[in-house]
Structure formats: structure tokens, C-alpha cells
Amino acid sequence: MKDDLINKKCIPCEGGVIPFDVSEIHKYQKKVDGWDIFEDKDKVFFLEKKFSFKNFLESQDFVNKVGKVSEEEGHHPDINFGWGYAKINITTHAIKGLSENDFILAAKIDQIANV
């Protein structure tokens, strides 16, 4: 199931698309491992996952790889990282919610983490 997301490409989103509802979010959440769903103060859903590493350089290397994939996909997460960790939040800002693009990027980030 995850492979179908990894093989897809993020589609540019300028808005005008309806964000996923809760049932659609949960359907897609089953296709990615360990990504939590949160809602911010503005009721916008986003994906979040924390990654652990042995040191700062491993965290930085991971974040650089995530940045490269994000740029290739044209879809950019919020990243917070430091010594031994990285936390990634993904949402589609243009639609104020989650779309298939967010889950595609999550699957590709998981692929980086598992290499």
C-alpha cells in the first residue's frame, strides 16, 4: 500500500481543492507508518512524526535528504531538528488541510529513514 504512494508524484496545489475529511485522512494514515494526525489552533489538520538518530550529524544528514526530496516534489514540510532528533510536520497550506500530496511526501520521507 505504501508503494503506491512512493511511486506517485506530488501535484502542485494552488488551492481550490477540498482538503481530506477525517475519514479520508484515516484511510490514508493506514498507508504510512507512525505518522500522527494533529489539528492546530485554526482547525487545520497536519501529519507529524518524530525521528531519532545517534548524533547531530545523522539528524542533519536526514534533514538534508528530506529537503532534497521535498524540493523534487515541490512540497515542503516544516522541520525541527537538533542533536539526535528530527520532527517533521506536513500539511497543504494552500488548502488549509491534508491532501494526497502530504501522504506521498510522508511515504517518501519514511523511505529515506529506512535506508
Q: For cell 504512494, what's the residue?
A: 5
pLDDT of 84 strictly over 60: yes
pLDDT-derived band of residue 16, with 50, 70 and 90 as boundaries?
A: confident
Question: What domains sit in the chain, N to C, each tagged with a CATH number?
Answer: 2-8+19-113 (3.30.1360.20)
Greater confidence (28 vs 115) lies with 28
Long-range contacts of 80-83 (CB under 8 A, 24+ apart): 82/56, 83/55, 83/56, 83/59
Q: What is the mean pLDDT of residues 70-83?
A: 95
pLDDT of 102 strictly over 60: yes
**Whether the Cβ atoms of residue 69 and residue 109 lie closer than 8 Å to each other:** yes
